[in-house]
């Protein structure tokens, strides 16, 4: 039977919330019993007893698995393009796993949690490499108006070739479709942007949070239509609702 980590997380999270009740129930299993019933209950008590270190292990695991759980929920949202999310979320979880491994010491890791986290980190990096092998996740991320190029220029997360590659891909895409757009005389319909609602900060919002000194300007594009792409890469018309990138594009159809 395959183990689903989302279900495992839900079970552990619920168990931790009921920690006092679980400990009390196990501790009193053999109370008031005699003979064979007491012997059987005592065996169960020893088997089901959760030690202090085991509770700590469960709590550490929940901290790690919560990011995976939240990422799954973020991917499951309807009406939002998910192609924008893989790279930021993979990178965010990668850094969280790396920090969790670094924080563990031999004395604090009697259950070899480090080995489990390292295996998870290696698998995540495998999927991150696969995502970068394709153009679409990178294009999808750069076309999110809250990400653009600035997010990928954070050297603590990405190598220098990633923003350069993203810029080249988007310039090529623009050149491919610019002529078709110019030939169309259909006026853009008026679109009223959806107002952002106050919601708790999602894991995706956390993932694309940028440093205040991130570079958002200075992009030089050779050749055609520099102004439109430069405006976009330079951060023109900030996106106020990160959960609705398509709404931003509809409103800015002819603004950039």
List per-residue pLDDT tens for the chain, 256 residues long: 455 668 889 999 999 999 999 999 999 999 999 999 999 999 999 999 999 989 998 998 999 899 999 999 898 888 888 999 999 999 999 999 999 998 887 667 888 889 999 999 999 999 999 999 999 999 999 999 999 999 999 999 999 999 999 999 999 888 887 766 555 545 545 445 455 555 557 899 899 987 655 444 444 444 445 578 888 888 888 888 888 898 898 887 655 5
DSSP 68-119: HHHHHHHHT-TTS-GGGSHHHHHHHHHHHHHHHHHH--STT-TT-HHHHHHH
pLDDT score for 151: 93
Conformational region of residue 33, where left means phi above 0, alpha means psi within -120 to 50, and beta covers everything else = beta
Give dist(CA 86, CA 197) in Å, integer: 23
Q: What is the pLDDT of residue 252?
A: 77
Residue entry with tokens 């839900």? 10
Q: What is the pLDDT of residue 110?
A: 80
Nearest alpha-carbon partner for 140 in 170, 168, 178, 179: 170
Phi-psi region of 47 (alpha: psi -120 to 50; beta: other; left: phi over 0): alpha
At 99, list the tokens. 């920090």
182 CA to centre of own chain: 37
SS3 31: coil
Element at 157 (helix H, strand E): none
Alpha-carbon gap, residue 93 to 86, rounded angstroms: 11
């Amino acid at each position: 039977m395959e183990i689903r980590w989302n279900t495992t997380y839900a079970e552990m999270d619920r168990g931790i919330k009921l920690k006092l009740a679980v400990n009390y129930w196990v501790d009193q299993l053999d109370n008031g019993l005699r003979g064979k019933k007491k012997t059987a209950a005592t065996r169960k008590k020893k088997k089901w007893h959760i030690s202090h270190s085991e509770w700590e292990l469960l709590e550490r695991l929940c901290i790690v698995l919560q990011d995976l759980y939240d990422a799954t929920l973020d991917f499951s949202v309807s009406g939002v393009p998910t192609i924008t999310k893989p790279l930021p979320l993979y990178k965010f979880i990668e850094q969280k796993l790396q920090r969790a491994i670094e924080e563990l010491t031999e004395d604090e890791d009697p259950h070899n949690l480090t080995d489990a986290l390292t295996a998870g980190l290696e698998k995540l990096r495998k999927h991150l490499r696969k995502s970068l092998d394709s153009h679409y996740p990178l294009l999808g991320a750069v076309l999110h108006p809250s990400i653009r190029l600035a997010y990928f220029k954070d050297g603590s997360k990405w190598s220098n070739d990633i923003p350069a590659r993203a810029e080249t891909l988007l310039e090529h895409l623009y050149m491919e479709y610019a002529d078709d757009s110019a030939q169309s005389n259909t006026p853009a319909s008026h679109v009223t942007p959806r107002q952002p609602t106050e919601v708790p900060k999602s894991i995706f919002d956390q993932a694309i949070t940028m440093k205040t000194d991130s570079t958002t300007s200075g992009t030089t594009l050779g050749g055609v239509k520099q102004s439109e792409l430069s405006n976009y890469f330079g951060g023109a018309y900030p996106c106020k609702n990160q959960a609705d990138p398509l709404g931003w594009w509809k409103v800015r159809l002819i603004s950039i």
